[in-house]
Amino acid sequence: MRAALLLPGLLALAACQRQAPAGAERGVVDELAFEGERACADCDAIATRLVLRQRDDRRDYALTETYRTRSRELRFVERGRWQRQQALLRLQGEGGSRRTYAVLPDGRLQSRDPRGAILPGADDVLVPAAAPGR
């Protein structure tokens, strides 16, 4: 139910490349967050949190990956720009990294290859979560 409520927000965020979402006031920041956890070969798990932000025509993201072991956590944060192309969400990191997610009908994000194809054995699915400050 919650995912169904957040999907229209993602669609509104990405509705137009050069304009703010319909009804949005200039300067207002819209945010959506997603999170998930996946298996890791050399750690207990990798927790992921993706926050998408849009302010006017600027679309930024922060992707935090936390590698968890029994004794500690290592956190990595990637920042960059995002865009929506049909059913794909494309992330371009400031350091040159690229990630692609499919926007699933229920509002979840599924990791994909650069062409949008399903990755073999991929369990990287992010579910809608509470955005920062909400």
Averaged confidence pLDDT in the chain:
83
Segment 62-84, tens digit of pLDDT: 999 999 999 999 999 999 999 99
Is 21 a member of any domain?
yes
Is 44 a member of any domain?
yes
63, 48 contact by CB (below 8 A): yes
Read off the CATH number of the domain in which 9 is found.
2.40.128.300
54, 13 contact by CB (below 8 A): yes
The residue whose two tokens read 């819209």 is 30
d(CA 34, CA 56): 21
> Domain range spanning residue 37?
2-129
Angstrom distances, CA of residue 20 to CA of 1, 69, 92, 105, 134: 26, 41, 20, 23, 20
How many domains, in total, are found in the chain? 1
Is 54 a member of any domain?
yes
Closest by CA to 116, choosing from 80, 76, 89, is 89
Quote the pLDDT of residue 29: 72
The residue whose two tokens read 């919650």 is 2
Is 70 a member of any domain?
yes
Is 89 a member of any domain?
yes
Is 134 a member of any domain?
no
Q: Comparing 132 with 134, which gets the higher pLDDT?
A: 132
Q: Is the pTM higher than 0.85?
A: no
With a cut of 80, say whether residue 114 has pLDDT above it. Answer: yes
Is 114 a member of any domain?
yes
Is 63 a member of any domain?
yes
